[in-house]
Amino acid sequence: MRILPPMLSELKVVLLGNSWSLRKEVGNFILGETVVNTHKAPDECLIGRSQIVGQKIALINTPDLLDPKIPEDKFRKHVETCVNLSAPGPHVFLPVLQPEDFTEEHKLKLCSVLNLFSDQSFDHSLVLISTPREESPGSTEDYTNHPALQEVIRTCRYGSLRLKNLDRLELLTRIGQIAKENTGEHLRCDLLKEAATATQTPLSLKQGGAVGELMSPAGAAEHGVRMVLLGKSEDDKTSLSDFIMKKKTFTSQGETERFCLRHE
């Protein structure tokens, strides 16, 4: 039985959520084996791979990105790592949410993560709702009425599953359906687009009141390339300069200890 779209060589899934134990449990459940067994939430993204009915799946498990107290620089670094691990882009996001602990702040952080990937991330998401830690016999409380959780589910096109008594095949089938609904295309991440644009597009820089320009490779070829050699060893810098220029460049001993030297 083919669960995943046939055109995919490897399905890439990203786990998010407000509980490390749940993310770990769901990750191992999907992969069909205990890939991650650490009890403490890691401070880095973890990736596990497996084969499902002959098809490859890569699962990226994230640190506690929904922690409201996480520093902004650390938060963005973790997201960038996740983007790189899932390059050229994930196919499915699985926010694994524990309703009784899921706050408005968690919701905002989750939306921040998905938006950093792309504003299309919500169309690639399936919300997994945990079983309450303490559930009284016969309890029929509908945790999707939780305001913050309900808004997330609505934004994700009402795609959700309860983890209680969830069959692995059912979960894999729903993951495959999301990939198929998006024609098997991976998500084109905005962070990767920004990085590519930054290396190709001229940028304006203010330097002492004047405006300089960082040129693209094509512009550098037309106007010439300027390089600065830095380092502790004068001999190494001189040797490298001679190698780049293909001729003898700096010969004065001791001058570089006091002055910057230029050669064209």
* This prediction's pTM: 0.70
> What average pLDDT is seen over the chain?
78
195-249: pLDDT as tens digits: 555 444 443 333 333 333 333 344 444 445 567 777 767 776 777 777 677 666 6
Query: Parallel, antiparallel, or unpaired for β 10-17 and 203-207?
Result: unpaired
**pLDDT for position 14:** 97
Is the pLDDT at 134 greater than 50? The verdict is yes
**Kind and range of the H or E run holding 73:** helix 72-85
73-89: pLDDT as tens digits: 999 999 999 999 998 89
Domain ranges of the chain: 10-188, 227-264
193 exposure class (CB count in 10 Å sphere: 0-12, 13-18, 19+): exposed
**pLDDT for position 256:** 45
The second-level CATH assignment, the architecture, of 10-188 is 3-Layer(aba) Sandwich (3.40)
23-73: pLDDT as tens digits: 999 999 999 888 887 778 889 999 999 988 778 899 999 999 999 899 999
**pLDDT for position 211:** 34
